[in-house]
Amino acid sequence: MSLIVVGLNHRTVPVELLERMAVPPSALPKALHALTQREHLAEVVLLSTCNRTEVYARYTTFHPAVQDALDFLTDQSAVAPDEITDHLYTYHDDAAVAHLFGVAAGVDSMIVGEAEILGQVREAWRVAQSEGTTGQLLSRVFRQAIEVGKRSRTETAIGRNPASISSAAVAVAGERLGSLEGRRVLVLGAGDVGEGLAIALAGAGVAEVVVANRTPEHAAALARRVEGRAIPLDEVPMELERADVLLASTAADSVLLERSDFERVMESRGGRALLVVDVAVPRDVDPGVAQVFGVTLLDIDDLKAFAEQSLLQRGQEVGKVREIITGELDRFRVEHSAREVAPLVAALRDRGETVRTAELERFGRRLDGLDPAEREAVEALTRGIVNKLLHDPTVRVKDAAGTPRGDLYADALAELFDLAGPTPPAPE
């Protein structure tokens, strides 16, 4: 199959390293083309969220392709290879497909069953398509992964009372403050996560939701949805003097709020505490803000307790989702093998026809005296013999496609008839 995934996620690295590996949406096109320029990577999709950064690729040679992906990750993040090598995971072929299916289904997320990841998988594939870096193999894998994600949420309760990074952030803020009712909340960011934050807040009884975003129109649109108020980014420090909670979730590639900003803000708050929940990766808020008196700073790592509780609540559904993934993986394997068998069968038929015509040419002088009807009879006879000899092998290899027996049949045909085998290069 020649498919690999190389990446790291919330389970393998702390947020400090994960944020350095993140690729912001604005940088995705350039990153995709940088990947496809690597010698051993053909088709490429790059999935980068607050929980993971993963390279999906069709490879030409396994180990050099893994090295190409590793080199890309270190080059684009300026992280030394020895800092991440031990944290990386690599899957190939069936295991890579199964991993992507699990990601799309939400069972590999920090918040099990969260709904945002399916849209992020779809968007990663869309961007790769628009940049021309994905082809037939990755498109088939991602198309079916999205089907798996949809089935998991409609056929099981994994997505019932859906949790997400957004809802987790709001829930954790509520737990820290006892309640969000009557609180003033500033939401920094109006993307998918920011939208989720604002909507979750609207149902939590807060007194006011204020939205700030780099694009004022987006902030205004989201504020209207939740009957809140929009402000430009340069008014955030002033708004923080009034807010009880800051929820940050932009796609900025660097810190937006420094420690010095909060030191000035806290001087104007008259001793009132401020809760900051930063779910952006890379972070929007300088980690040093945690040292400012009166500020409580939480980040992705602080949502892990909520995630563990979510896993306990949804544990029974994970098994059901795994069954869906297994069935869909079997279907993908059969369909993919059938596509790979087709060229082998065609090559077998071509070999038979080549032998038939060569033999007729060899006996050409003996056949010159035949009239057209007799000549056609000889053609029909020899074609019939070839077709009958190849019929059973062709049917059996097609029927067994996608099974271990089918792989043996395909390998045997390729070896016995000296055909170009359909199987990709195995990992070295």
Least confident of 56-65, 192-201, 298-307, 316-325: 298-307
pLDDT of residue 69: 94
Question: 337 falls in which pLDDT band (50, 70, 90)?
Answer: low
Question: 162 falls in which pLDDT band (50, 70, 90)?
Answer: low
pLDDT of residue 104: 94
| pLDDT, tens digit (0-9, with 9 covering 90-100), for 409-426 | 776 777 788 875 433 333
| pLDDT, tens digit (0-9, with 9 covering 90-100), for 339-363 | 667 777 788 888 888 888 888 888 8
Which position has the higher pLDDT, 313 or 386? 386
Establish whether 273 is a catalytic residue: no
| pLDDT, tens digit (0-9, with 9 covering 90-100), for 70-109 | 999 998 888 888 888 888 999 998 899 999 999 999 888 8
Homologous superfamily in CATH for domain 3-162:
Glutamyl-tRNA reductase, N-terminal domain (3.30.460.30)
| pLDDT, tens digit (0-9, with 9 covering 90-100), for 103-156 | 999 888 887 877 788 989 999 999 999 999 998 889 989 999 999 999 998 898
pLDDT of residue 158: 81
Residue 283 has pLDDT above 60, yes or no: yes
Mean local confidence (pLDDT), 174-203: 86
Question: 427 falls in which pLDDT band (50, 70, 90)?
Answer: very low
Residue 331 has pLDDT above 80, yes or no: yes
Tell me the CATH number of domain 165-307, given options 3.40.50.720, 3.30.70.360, 2.30.29.30, 3.40.640.10.
Answer: 3.40.50.720
**For all residues of the chain together, what is the average pLDDT?**
85
Mean local confidence (pLDDT), 46-55: 92
Phi-psi region of 418 (alpha: psi -120 to 50; beta: other; left: phi over 0): left
pLDDT of residue 33: 95
pLDDT of residue 89: 94
Which position has the higher pLDDT, 316 or 418? 418
Residue 9 has pLDDT above 50, yes or no: yes
| pLDDT, tens digit (0-9, with 9 covering 90-100), for 220-270 | 999 898 889 999 998 999 999 999 999 998 888 888 999 999 999 999 888
Residue 159 has pLDDT above 80, yes or no: no
pLDDT of residue 78: 82
Which position has the higher pLDDT, 111 or 277? 277
Residue 428 has pLDDT above 80, yes or no: no
Q: What is the pTM of this model?
A: 0.64
pLDDT of residue 426: 37
Domain ranges of the chain: 3-162, 165-307, 337-416
Mean local confidence (pLDDT), 202-209: 83
Looking at the chain, the whole-number percentage of residues with pLDDT higher than 90 is: 36
pLDDT of residue 310: 65
pLDDT of residue 425: 38
- The residue from 5, 15, 35, 50 that is catalytic is 50
| pLDDT, tens digit (0-9, with 9 covering 90-100), for 360-384 | 888 888 888 888 888 889 888 998 8
Question: 35 falls in which pLDDT band (50, 70, 90)?
Answer: very high
